[in-house]
Chains A and B, each alone.
Chain A
Amino acid sequence: MNNRSLNEMTKGIIKENPTFVLVLGMCPTLAISTAAKNGFMMGIAATIVLIFSNLLISLLRKVIPDRVRIPCYITLIAGLVTIVQLLLQAYLPDLNRTLGIYIPLIVVNCIILARAEMFANKNTPWHSVLDGLGMGLGFTLSLTCIGIIREFLGTGSFFGMKLTGDIPMPTIFIMPAGAFLVLGTLMAVIAKIKDKPMEIKDCSDCPMNCSGKQDKEENR
């Protein structure tokens, strides 16, 4: 593996972490991170979809006409998500119930479409697979981190193991409000480390380049 390949893979984990740096895929990040295990499994499911969607889109990048690329990508991704969903239903039914609606919603997860649009349709299949793997691992890592923090603060457990004994823990952290609170605080810590304020991405300059942007080009 040469230097460039290694770089494509590792950049997604820290330098371009999809959750904390690119700020993509907020919905599953907030919803699923109630426990470390859920966050980890959600990350793995998204990683599998991401690797295969990057591979297929990169292979088809010269075949898909530019004007209809977004619908093509979405259909492709939806097919992959369906496969993952059926596999989960068959082999891990409990997990499928916990993750519930957020599994089919991987289709509209910005990370996957954003990587297709920003990376896979311009690069070779090998680099795209590595990019997907790196981004997926970055996403898994951040979901697991948030999951560990929320699970510990909210229930006093670590991957389901009770650590604090009988001390009552503030359950607010496993409630929806806790998700916003923990993620907001983590973002502030990262902004402090990077010494650069964290901007909110406006829909208009979102990397997703969905139909919103095409429209603007037409109007120009």
Chain B
Amino acid sequence: MNGDTFKMIIYLSFGTILMENFVLSNFLGICPFLGTSKKLSSAVGMGVAVVFTMAIASAATWVTNEYLLVPNGLEYLQTIAFILVIAGLVQFIEMLIKKFLPPLYNALGIYLPLITTNCAVLGVAILNVQYEYNLWQSVLYSASAGASFMVATIIFAGIREKIDFNDIPKCFKGLPIALITAAFLSMAFTGFQGLFG
């Protein structure tokens, strides 16, 4: 492995999680970020499900793009093709896990369908094409993007569990304080900018 590949791997993984956090600096996947961060356990479950689905979905959409859309000059159908591939794939993974890995299904099953319409999954598929990543770079980038979602959601869920015990003004209860917490979290992550010079 030469130096450039190593740099690329570090940049794609840690750079995506810390500097280009999908939730906190790209605003992708805000709905599940807010929706599943009430309890730490559900944040972990959703996070794992997102990493897993994003890695597989990005491989599938990369193959679709490279071998189906580009050779036939159908790039303009990208959005439709990707959303159908992702929706079909998530359903398929769900059925597969339900059949062969019931314990995993019990842990992650309820989160999988929510991912179909998660903008982070479609977003990462489109970004892979935009950045012209090859298959392995796409999968690494997408898994890291999923991990960045997981890191943000878990930290956020931890803070929200504590906020529940605090005495805050009535009008800030619920969504407003959650958004302001996210603002401080995002500000903290800004500190990682320039980590790799």
Contact = CB atoms under 8 A, between A and B. Distances in A.
A74 B81 CA distance: 11
Contacts of A175: 186, 190
- Chief secondary structure at chain B's binding surface: helix
B186 A180 contact: yes
Contact of B29 (A27, A78, A177): A27
B135 interface: no
Given A78-B80, A180-B180, A206-B35, A199 B175 contact: yes
B79 A85 contact: yes
Interface stretch (A106-114, A136-144, A155-163): A106-114
Interface in B86-110: 87, 91, 109-110
Interface residues of A, number: 54
Q: Which residue, of B24, B30, B32, has the highest number of chain A Cβ atoms within 10 A?
A: B30
Contact of A82 (B77, B127, B184): B77
B41 interface: no
B35 A201 contact: yes
Contacts of B173: 191, 197-198
Interface residues of B, number: 53
Interface in B162-186: 169-180, 182-184, 186
B53 interface: no
List of 4 A-B pairs having minimum Cβ-Cβ separation, nearest first: A184-B179, A211-B113, A180-B183, A203-B35
Interface of A: 23, 26-28, 30-31, 71, 74-75, 78-79, 81-82, 85-86, 101, 104-105, 107-110, 113, 172, 175-181, 183-185, 187-189, 191-192, 197-204, 206, 208, 210-212, 214-215
Given A105-B123, A177-B186, A188-B171, 11 more contacts: A26-B31, A74-B84, A74-B117, A79-B80, A82-B76, A104-B78, A176-B186, A197-B173, A204-B35, A204-B110, A212-B114
